Amino acid sequence: MNGIPATYRNVSLIISTVCILFVAGCGYKNPYAGPNGDRTISLSASMWENQTSEFGLESVLFNSLNNWLQKSRQIHLASTPAEADYQLSGKILSVSHPGLSYGDFDRVKELQAMLTVEFAFKEAETGKILWQETKNIQEEPYVIGADAVRTQGNKKDAFEKIAEDLAEEVYLRVLNFMKNSYKD
């Protein structure tokens, strides 16, 4: 038929069928897309209060949180708290930099950036806290540079990594809340 041997037609039919079945039935779900298809929540994520002397840390954390929360089509970031179904708030409680490794003459070579935060997720209308974390500690090592500028850059990178990890953790908790609260 049409000059194509039956063997090639059968092979191409089998390959096409396997590809279609694989794509349709592999069960893959994007873990960052959010649960339950078309259900959405409106969320107000405020700038966290910074109770430390580490200037600008609240902005780094706020930007990371917003970037993560925008990854899901099921989460709408409200312009104002009054427009939101839920509110996410938090505080940066403390920052410390204990020594992690030492060189000659007990000179510090590496420090550990430690950030302690608390955060809460609550219903906007009632103020009821749905979940909270009262003492979340995030850590990231950084190297003491050859000069103060390099050390500051390394410390900044460590705090950006901490903010990214913390924002991802909060984002996944919001998605988990949505998944558990919208069970059919």
Residue 106: give its domain's CATH number: 3.30.160.150
42-91 pLDDT, tens digit per residue, is 999 999 999 999 999 999 999 999 999 999 889 999 988 889 999 999 99
Higher-scoring residue by pLDDT: 40, 35: 40
pLDDT at residue 32, as a whole number: 47
Which residues lie across from 136 on neighbouring strands? 117
Query: CB under 8 Å to 131, separation ≥6 — which residues?
Result: 120, 121, 173, 177
**Gap between the Cα atoms of 90 and 45, Å rounded:** 9
pTM of the model: 0.77
Which domain range does residue 94 map to? 36-181
Residue 145 lies in a domain: yes
pLDDT at residue 26, as a whole number: 56
Residue 3 lies in a domain: no
pLDDT-based confidence at residue 28 (cuts at 50, 70, 90)? low
Is the pLDDT at 38 greater than 80? The verdict is no
Residue 20 lies in a domain: no
Q: HSE on the CB side for 47, CA within 13 Å?
A: 8
Q: At what angle do helices 57-69 and 148-181 cross, to 10 degrees?
A: 40
| Residue 106 three-state SS | helix
**Gap between the Cα atoms of 76 and 182, Å rounded:** 16
Is the pLDDT at 23 greater than 60? The verdict is no
Higher-scoring residue by pLDDT: 3, 67: 67
pLDDT at residue 80, as a whole number: 87
| Locus of tokens 């920052």 | 95
pLDDT at residue 40, as a whole number: 87
On whether the CB atoms of residues 112 and 139 are closer than 8 A, the answer is yes
Maximum distance among all Cα pairs of the chain, rounded to whole angstroms: 85
Residue 149 lies in a domain: yes
Is the pLDDT at 106 greater than 90? The verdict is no
Number of domains in the chain: 1
Summary mean pLDDT of the chain: 86
pLDDT at residue 103, as a whole number: 87
Higher-scoring residue by pLDDT: 80, 140: 140
Structure tokens at 144: 């003491």
